[in-house]
Chain A
Amino acid sequence: MDAIQFFTDAYAQQSSSLHLHAFQQSNLDAFSTMGLPAIKHEEWKYTKIRNLFKDGLTYTPTLSNSEIKFQTLKGTEEANRIVFVNGLYNAALTHLIEAEGNIVVKPLDTAAGDEDAELVKKHLGHSKDYHLDGINALNGAFAAGGVFIKVKPNVVLTQPIVIYHVTDNANGMIFSQPRILGYLGKNAEATIIETYVSTGNSESLSNEVIEMCVERDANLLYIKLQNEGAHSSHTGTTHIRQLEKAMTQAITISLSGAIVRNNLNMIMEAEYGESHMYGLYLLNGNTQVDNHTIVDNQMPHCFSNELYKGIMDDSSSGIFNGKIFVRKDAQKTNAYQSNKNVLIGANASANTKPQLEIFADDVKCSHGCTIGKLDEEALFYLRARGISETNAKALLLHAFAGDILQQIKYEGLRTHIDELISERLSFQI
């Protein structure tokens, strides 16, 4: 069936929204106009998204039961837990350990009709200006099943918020569309970790949009960990706005998947903002990971630093596209970007493209990208000390990935990811 028809029908069948009807309708209209992006769309050149919408993909945006079992993320045993099942916020599985009143977590549709309605109205859907591609609109058409998260001003969360996206695909292919709107009040500090798990091995596709707004002097650390397995595809947009001078950091780690597309936007709307973006993609098999990042410097004196690293084995492919906008008023911007790739598989590939659009005349911007193989001389040096070729490669690749891993300040989580990587690289004594 034609995708537009399919989702128009699904839209008609979804349980009616109380307060987001207009928002959803306008998004459905936009989707009906644009459809799914084709590969002639420059932004989707490498990611054949249409192929993922195949016959048999089930999309029934209704709440599934709460009996579902899933593995929690190692190293984050003490954490606030927010759970989505098949793209819908599940209040019953959600569990907060933070003192009541410090954070608010509720259905997005509820937030759109209570004391937070103003916030929702102001900030929900801001990312669509950066993604005129149908995919973002498609998520918006079903936004009412999402969640609203608010961290109150001056609150420093002692434990992270871990968002589990559970795909219940034990009985067939699943398409899901999680939606999140987050808000960090003035001088608040929080970590949000997103992770993806599935109950079965059927193919799945999740199309996610998370929008975060950060107020003055707030500090947001965002970690996205993808290791769901070769059956799962993902298109996601993480859209982070600094409404006032703030500090934001995003770490995106992709270890497996079928076709994965991560958009990360840092919107620097105030002077003196600071943002850091780190990415690691360690791929094998036929996995394809496409990271598109945007830093939009709108005001003077902002600083941003970006480092993405890729290791591609087998026939996997890694794509990096990094846009930096420096608007006319954004004098004294400091923006740095670097993307480094190592190809270890005979049929592996890497594509990298920096895009700088600078309209101010007093800025410091730099970008660099490399695609290479492992250093043969280093490899020989290690082997000459009796270290096996496999272990020598693992040591070198682990070191390469280390720059990104060391950014994860939670030791338990860092150790867990470290072990996943060692296991992947078959390091053993």
Chain B
Amino acid sequence: MLKIENLQARIEEKEILKGINLDIKPGEIHAIMGPNGSGKSTLASVLAGRADYEVTGGSVEFLGKDLLELSPEDRSREGLFLAFQYPVEIPGVSTTNFIKTAVNEKRKYQGEEPLDAAQFLRIMKEKMNLVEINQSLLSRSLNEGFSGGEKKRNEIFQMAMLEPKLAILDETDSGLDIDALRIVANGVNQLRSKDNAFLVVTHYQRLLDYIVPDFVHVLYNGRIVKSGTKELALELEERGYDFIKSEADQAV
């Protein structure tokens, strides 16, 4: 589904990704862990198409297409979803109107008729239950004045509405209390299928108790320095990132 080969990227003059290799297949959940500043969020941003980053080498193939050639909107319409670490507050744009626009643009791209008001409402109700999000929240301006937990739930709700093939959760757990974390994870687990995949970017192991990954990768200094199964996350939790750092630094 997603094949990243030797991906390198920088922001301004600073090299951040120094050769990432990653292969994600349908039905899999991959976790990317790593200390602060290792490049986790950069990887998520580059995949979603944020313009601040310049890709200086390597390739990314997504469902047979060259992902890096696509605009951010086309990446989304092709089935890529980024749950933002810091969802943006947009006053004056109602959440419902925003999601309706997004859903219908995707349908148009795929050659489908736009949803009418009744169809949209029915699907929305269904997905709202999934992520335990309240109607009153969706009537408000997009993320404006939302608590941290509400913003993250809104991200998962948008994901549910857009039904992506590959969802990247960029530190979705940061700033969440245990109840919010449970709701978010529960939403993700219900959306899991053999056809879609998840890339969970996180600093802590805690989220992975709820969203159990098939593979765990440790990103350090712009490279994946260690890959393993979910036991690796537990080991990191126990030993911290220092042993990874020293191993990696010795190897260089």
Contacts and interface: CB of A to CB of B under 8 A. Distances in A.
A429 B92 contact: no
A395 B101 CA distance: 10
A384 B90 contact: no
B139 to A, nearest CB: 15
Interface residues of B, number: 32
Given A385-B76, A385-B158, A399 B90 contact: yes
A100 B75 CA distance: 64
Nearest to A386: B76
B105 A384 contact: no
Given A381-B88, A429-B104, A386 B93 contact: no
B56 interface: no
A387 B102 CA distance: 5
B82 interface: yes
B92 A387 contact: no
Interface string A131-166: 000000000000000000000000000000000000
B105 A388 contact: yes
A372 interface: no
Contacts of A384: 48-49, 72-73, 75-76, 82, 84
Chain B contact residues: helix, strand, loop or mixed: helix
Contact of B98 (A377, A395, A403): A395
A384 B51 CA distance: 11
A383 B72 contact: yes
A386 B48 contact: no
A398 B91 CA distance: 11
B114 A429 contact: yes
A58 interface: no
Contact of B73 (A389, A399, A400, A403): A389
B151 to A, nearest CB: 11
Contacts of B90: 378, 381-382, 395-396, 399
Interface residues of A, number: 24
B78 to A, nearest CB: 9
A388 B158 CA distance: 17
A387 B88 contact: no
B159 to A, nearest CB: 10
A386 B92 contact: no
A270 to B, nearest CB: 36
B65 interface: no
Interface in B93-128: 93, 97-99, 101-102, 104-106, 108-109, 114
Contacts of B51: 376, 380
A387 B73 contact: yes
A385 B92 contact: no
Contact of B84 (A381, A387, A398, A429): A381
Which among A378, A383, A392, A398 has the greatest number of chain B C-beta atoms within 10 A?
A383
11 contacts: A375-B88, A377-B88, A384-B72, A384-B84, A385-B98, A386-B106, A387-B102, A392-B73, A395-B90, A395-B97, A395-B101
Interface of A: 375-378, 380-389, 391-392, 395-396, 398-400, 402-403, 429
Given A386-B162, A395-B97, 5 more contacts: A377-B88, A384-B73, A385-B73, A386-B106, A387-B101
